[in-house]
Structure 1
Amino acid sequence: MAFNWRIARAIWQPELDLVFRPSRAFLVEVSGSPGMWMAPGRLEQLQRDCRTVVAACLNGDQLDYGLFEADGKAWNTSVITLVRDAADRRPIAFNAMPLLPVRQGAEQIEVLHLGLVMVDPSARSAGLSWLLYGLTCFFLFLRHRLRPLWISSVTQVPAVVGMVAETFDQVWPGQDGTLPSFAHRHFARQIMASHRHAFGVGQDAGYDAVRSVITDAYTGGSDNLKKSFAVAAKHRDPRYNRFCETLLDYARGDDVLQIGQLNFATLRRFLLKSVPRSALPRLIVQLAVIATQAAVAPVLQWLAADRSLGQLRPAR
């Protein structure tokens, strides 16, 4: 199977294809870059399921950016989390997280963009945020060999701004006490220069690099997602609501671009605060399987010097 990941990662890790049942009510499917390996029939079904959720959220309308661009390239570079109703397997929510290539010094790395989240209105009070954001992020953290992973988020919704600030580390802007480092500003400028299409922001939108605000953002395919402050979901902590109301011009259609990091501190907070206690046993099993794929299996394979290991150690 052809992957655009580095050779070692392709040899040591199979495609990300997980099915996880956190409770009796939901079934979660996580697919990494499905356009690169998934069978055509299954990929088409996944695409239809995501469009079903979009239609439920937008009164029958569809989006035409990111995953839903005509060329379909985003399916090759995104991690898709789909949540189903376990009773009838009806799709009720999904999250699409594209991996954005950026430069960090002489190295090219990937920033995980938290991406498009859509939840069927009938399921918005079901507490799915830990599945749509945290679960997938930490699966990727394990597959990333437990190395810190940079993340980005573009939104005008106070609830999402607060969730990102409280879930991840070193989040700017929006997290008390975090000042922008060179890395924050550097990644933000690269994302705005090369990856606007990933979150539906047109080339004519402005970017205030001092405040990390995208001005007039809803001109690149995300027009249907523009909200007023009154309609946008609020966070339980009023600080984030005041922050967004002060920072953003909702009539113009501004977004805030947040940059942060996923690391061990984030993992600890996620396990202690976000994961329902009833889901912990199943989650621990999944984490153990992924940790084995990401760390234990490669070590065992490398130590077996009498066996071939693809391009890293050819057969005798």
Structure 2
Amino acid sequence: MYAAFKKTFSKDHLDLVLQTSEDHETRIVEFPGRWMTQDELQELREALISIASKTLARGSLTYGVFKADGSGLRDTVITLIRDRYSGQPIAFNALAVMEVAHGSATATVLHLGLVMVDPGQRSRGLSWVLYGLTCLLFFLRNQLRPFWISNVTQVPAIVGMVAETFSAVYPQPDDRSRRSIEHLLLAREIMANHRHVFGVGAEAEFDEACFVIGNAYTGGSDDLKKSFDVAQKHRDEKYNSFCKDSLDYERGDDFLQIGRMDIFASKDYLMKSVPRRSVLAIVAAAFFISLQRVLLPIIYWFDTSRPWRRLRARNT
């Protein structure tokens, strides 16, 4: 594990391998389309396609990481889980990093993106890795500064997971859910300029009152459309009822959820979502990432013996 962390220190991007359970190894790769060789990119795409093909017809998805030209991997963070013994890819999450106009500034929004799991590996406790782990590591790399997240889904289990994992999530069924002006401005900007990230076509309509995208499955994500009966349910019935009452599954509606990753969300994630047997590995990853982002720049600054790209000491 130390060698894997050490390898990341010389890079401007995150490329981290963790043993997240006795049977699973997880690799988190930031912006692979910007630095991987063509052979490495092809190998990564084939791993993602092999997982997707277990659920959908090969080639049925045409947006995001499945774009033939590979452009969808330039602004994406891939979380890829493999079986430790066979090396077989079994699940992935593709998180898109969006730079969204927010007032007079720009906000970084981490879109939770497409999650796919080999049907034979479902109910194996992978959700905490696929949804929260990468967000936690980005929060640490961001020096504990909060950032916005977005999510587009019609699946009750995911609606509930997002509502329970992140802070200030809208929409959700609880009374504590409030649509702020920040939620609204971010949603407008995302729907105006970033629909391609989650495969929603221009003809889809957005209801600003309830954050429902009507007729959402027309922009390359068509084969992800589900009926309510097929969509995975949450253990808390309130999320199932919320989706059933708010979404038209025959038309193909989605929620656009917007929330924040902050210190409260990260604490709850570590205490409630991460299995106890995996906490040590996550703490180790957090330590090394914090070291890279906070302590190493100080060391580099005082080292005049070699350049460190943008961060280097000045000879006087």
TM-score normalised to structure 1 length: 0.92
Deviates further, 170-179 or 251-260? 170-179
Instruction: Quote the Cα distance in structure 2 between the aligned partners of 1:175 and 1:245.
Output: 12
2:300 is matched with 301
Assess if the C-alpha contact under 8 Å between 2:173 and 2:242 holds in 1.
no
Instruction: Quote the Cα distance in structure 2 between the aligned partners of 1:266 and 1:128.
Output: 19
2:225 is matched with 226
In the TM superposition, 1:281-300 aligns within 5 A as 281-300=280-299
1:8 is matched with none
Q: Secondary structure at the match of 1:136?
A: helix
**Distance apart, 1:306 and its partner CA:** 4.6
The residue identity in structure 2 corresponding to 1:40 is: Q
Deviates further, 237-246 or 169-178? 169-178
Instruction: Quote the Cα distance in structure 1 between the aligned partners of 2:299 and 2:85.
Output: 40
1:19 is matched with 17
Query: How far does the alpha carbon of each residue in 1:112-136 deviate from its partner, in whole angstroms, 9 at most, with x for none?
Result: 0000000000001111000111111
Instruction: Quote the Cα distance in structure 2 between the aligned partners of 1:75 and 1:196.
Output: 16
In the TM superposition, 1:65-214 aligns within 5 A as 65-174=63-172, 176=174, 177-214=176-213
Gaps of 5+ in 2: 1-8
**Distance apart, 1:165 and its partner CA:** 0.1
Q: Secondary structure at the match of 1:232?
A: coil
Assess if the C-alpha contact under 8 Å between 2:154 and 2:243 holds in 1.
yes
Q: Secondary structure at the match of 1:114?
A: strand
1:237 is matched with 236
Q: Secondary structure at the match of 2:42?
A: helix
Gaps of 5+ in 1: 1-10
Q: Secondary structure at the match of 1:185?
A: helix
State the Cα RMSD in Å: 1.7
Distance 1:12 1:46, change over 3 A: closer
**Distance apart, 1:178 and its partner CA:** 2.1
How many residue pairs were aligned? 305
Assess if the C-alpha contact under 8 Å between 1:22 and 1:282 holds in 2.
yes
Instruction: Quote the Cα distance in structure 2 between the aligned partners of 1:110 and 1:282.
Output: 27
Instruction: Quote the Cα distance in structure 1 between the aligned partners of 2:295 and 2:11.
Output: 11
Instruction: Quote the Cα distance in structure 2 between the aligned partners of 1:309 and 1:41.
Output: 28
Q: Percent identity?
A: 48
Q: Give the one of 21, 45, 48 matched to 1:47.
A: 45
1:6 is matched with none
1:217 is matched with 216
Assess if the C-alpha contact under 8 Å between 2:94 and 2:112 holds in 1.
yes
Assess if the C-alpha contact under 8 Å between 1:97 and 1:115 holds in 2.
yes
Assess if the C-alpha contact under 8 Å between 2:51 and 2:117 holds in 1.
yes
Distance 1:178 1:299, change over 3 A: farther
Instruction: Quote the Cα distance in structure 2 between the aligned partners of 1:277 and 1:99.
Output: 29
1:259 is matched with 258
Q: Secondary structure at the match of 2:133?
A: helix
Assess if the C-alpha contact under 8 Å between 2:173 and 2:238 holds in 1.
no
Instruction: Quote the Cα distance in structure 1 between the aligned partners of 2:24 and 2:303.
Output: 43
Query: How far does the alpha carbon of each residue in 1:79-122 deviate from its partner, in whole angstroms, 9 at most, with x for none?
Result: 00000011100001000000011122322221000000000000
Q: Secondary structure at the match of 1:115?
A: strand
Instruction: Quote the Cα distance in structure 1 between the aligned partners of 2:196 and 2:181.
Output: 24
**Distance apart, 1:172 and its partner CA:** 0.3
The residue identity in structure 1 corresponding to 2:118 is: D
The residue identity in structure 2 corresponding to 1:131 is: V
**Distance apart, 1:309 and its partner CA:** 5.1
Query: How far does the alpha carbon of each residue in 1:174-204 deviate from its partner, in whole angstroms, 9 at most, with x for none?
Result: 1520211111001111110011111110001
Assess if the C-alpha contact under 8 Å between 2:156 and 2:234 holds in 1.
yes
**Distance apart, 1:145 and its partner CA:** 1.3
TM-score normalised to structure 2 length: 0.92
